[in-house]
């Protein structure tokens, strides 16, 4: 089946030309074509061009969709989420308003452990239903790839339960999903820290590996959670099963997470709110994508990752929502793009690249997703008529999406 999208005011994100990620000054280049068309063949992008060059054969597609002067963008790619979780934690939201910090809440046994208690009581079916609802909301807001982490199980059975839910989502939803094993999110209530780290290494990782339930492995490498040494042991155990690392680093302190991540060939190091100049140098020349989560800084009233500095140093940056019940209960990537502009001083072009091609890279998917390129999967959205690309982050709460296509088919 061939679908033609015609009368596109501006086709956005059509300039990556086979690059798997954009770095430094390249990030301000957002390939655009005005008055454009886009042809989809089955699940993939076939070709695109200017309306004035649209030939008759292309115009006779099986289905013709009139963009009516809206723009077309590649779907957002969200490379860091925790959307498989039980219930919500708005009580802690109020505790924070009253003055408690995220760390204080965690120390008194709340936070992640609260979510783990709730998840323990929930059936796999209800957990799936709750997570699908969040994924659907994200799809309709323009997200076409989602990384989802475990990490609210904190014992072997419940971590496996979470990963099975993610596997079922991969099989049943049109959005592209990759899974990350985050047993090392917090220490499960019934264990001491060393016991729990051994459990992750000796029992959880081999079982997750045998059942092929995770593409990647993550550790919350930060003060009060897991040390650099523990992180290194866990990453080495994951590597034996082919799980590349994606690390929670430098959120609460300059934790050594970037260094241990890069040393273990991490695909991404995420958060980075407390990152310093020396970590930027550690990233240089590596294949690791620094990934900022500005929604978390906004929601927790924390510093923002130094994304401007990282780009000015010649490196790439990705952004993600971090959608989770504690530090940012939102998967709205358009708002993340606005925050990247407003709070981290990225240009709209840089922020959009950070939320598409570079975020696809941060989940190992940029060969097939993250830009408008012949042969890539046809994940894109059509906007309402809008005056310019800059309007997207500027109008920071206005919904702009008119129609969403994933794998070449419209999603309702």
What residues make contact with ligand NIG under the rule CB under 6 A?
Answer: 82, 111-112, 115, 220, 248, 251, 296, 322, 324-327
Closer to ligand NIG by Cβ: residue 26 or 147:
147
**Closer residue to ligand NIG (CB): 12 or 177:** 177
Beta carbon of residue 115, minimum distance to ligand NIG (angstroms, whole number)? 5
Nearer to Fe ion among residue 85 and residue 380 (C-beta): 85
Q: Which of 296, 305, 300, 302 has its CA nearest to residue 273?
A: 305
Distance (Å, whole) CA 23 – CA 214: 28
**In the complex, least distance from residue 269 CB atom to Fe ion, rounded to whole angstroms:** 12
Q: Which option in ligand NIG, Fe ion, none does residue 155 bind, with CB closer than 5 to 8 A by kind?
A: none
**SS3 state at 122:** coil
- In the bound state with Fe ion, the residue whose beta carbon lies nearer, of 215 and 322, is 322
| Interacting residues of 156 by C-beta distance below 8 A, sequence separation 6+ | 199, 203, 204, 207
- Chain residues binding Fe ion by CB under 5 A are 322
CB 369 within 8 A of CB 144: yes
Q: What is the DSSP string of 169-182?
A: HHHH-SSEEEEEEE
Token pair 């289905």: residue: 63
In whole angstroms, the minimum distance from the beta carbon of 154 to ligand NIG comes to 11
- Name the binder of 251 from ligand NIG, Fe ion, none, CB < 5-8 A by kind: ligand NIG
In the DSSP assignment, the letter for residue 193 is H
Q: Between 16 and 143, whose beta carbon lies closer to ligand NIG? A: 143
Q: Could you tell which of Fe ion, ligand NIG, none binds residue 16, using a CB distance below 5 to 8 A set by kind? A: none
For the CB of residue 401, give the shortest distance to ligand NIG in the complex, in Å: 26
Which does residue 299 bind out of Fe ion, ligand NIG, none, counting CB within 5 to 8 angstroms by kind? none
| DSSP string for residues in 280-303 | HHHHTTSS-EEEE-HHHHHHHT-P
Query: Minimum Å distance from CB 315 to ligand NIG?
Result: 21
Nearest in space to 183 (alpha carbons), one of 207, 228, 152: 152
245 binds, among ligand NIG, Fe ion, none (CB under 5 to 8 A by kind): none
In the complex, least distance from residue 250 CB atom to Fe ion, rounded to whole angstroms? 12
Query: What's the DSSP call for residue 53?
Result: G
Q: Which is nearer to ligand NIG, 256 or 326 (CB)?
A: 326
Name which of 82 and 164 has its Cβ closer to ligand NIG.
Answer: 82
Here the tokens at position 358 are 């570079």
Residues in contact with 62: Cβ distance below 8 Å, sequence separation at least 6, in sequence order: 1, 2, 3
145, interface contact from Fe ion, ligand NIG, none, CB < 5-8 Å by kind = none
- Give the span between the Cα atoms of 337 and 353, in whole angstroms: 10
Q: How far is the CB of 322 from Fe ion (least distance, A)?
A: 5
Q: Are 236 and 202 in contact (CB under 8 A)?
A: no
């Amino acid at each position: 089946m061939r679908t033609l999208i015609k009368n596109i005011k501006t086709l956005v994100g059509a300039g990556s030309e086979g690059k798997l990620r954009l770095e430094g000054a390249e990030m301000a280049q957002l390939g655009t074509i005005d008055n454009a068309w886009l042809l989809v063949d089955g699940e993939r992008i076939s070709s695109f061009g200017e309306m004035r060059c649209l030939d008759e054969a292309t115009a006779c597609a099986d289905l013709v969709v009139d963009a009516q002067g809206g723009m077309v963008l590649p779907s957002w790619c969200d490379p860091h989420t925790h959307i498989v979780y039980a219930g919500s934690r708005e009580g802690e939201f109020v505790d924070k308003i009253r003055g408690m910090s995220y760390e204080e809440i965690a120390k008194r046994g709340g936070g992640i452990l609260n979510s783990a208690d709730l998840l323990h009581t929930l059936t796999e079916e209800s957990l799936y239903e709750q997570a699908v609802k969040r994924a659907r909301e994200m799809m309709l807001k323009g997200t076409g790839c989602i990384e989802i982490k475990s990490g609210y199980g904190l014992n072997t059975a419940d971590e496996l339960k979470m990963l099975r839910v993610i596997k079922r989502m991969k099989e049943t939803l049109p959005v592209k999903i990759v899974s990350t094993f985050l047993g090392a999110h917090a220490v499960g209530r019934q264990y001491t820290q060393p016991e729990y780290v051994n459990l992750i290494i000796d029992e959880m990782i081999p079982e997750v590996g045998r059942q092929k339930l995770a593409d990647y492995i993550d550790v919350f490498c930060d003060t009060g959670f897991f040390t650099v040494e523990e992180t290194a042991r866990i990453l080495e155990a994951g590597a034996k099963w082919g799980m590349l690392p994606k690390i929670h680093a430098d959120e609460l302190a300059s934790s050594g997470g970037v260094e241990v991540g890069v040393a273990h060939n991490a695909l991404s190091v995420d958060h980075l709110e407390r990152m310093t100049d020396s970590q930027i140098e550690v990233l240089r020349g590596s294949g690791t994508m620094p990934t900022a989560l500005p929604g978390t800084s906004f929601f927790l009233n924390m510093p923002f990752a130094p994304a401007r500095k990282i780009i000015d140093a010649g490196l790439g940056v990705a952004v993600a929502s971090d959608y989770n019940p504690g530090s940012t209960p939102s998967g709205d990537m358009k708002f993340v793009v606005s925050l990247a502009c407003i709070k981290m001083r990225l240009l709209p072009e840089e922020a959009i690249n950070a939320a598409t091609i570079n975020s696809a890279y941060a989940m190992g998917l940029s060969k097939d997703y993250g830009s408008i390129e012949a042969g890539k999967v046809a994940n894109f959205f059509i906007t309402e008529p809008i005056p310019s690309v800059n309007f997207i982050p500027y109008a920071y709460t206005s919904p702009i999406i008119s129609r969403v296509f994933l794998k070449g088919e419209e999603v309702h």
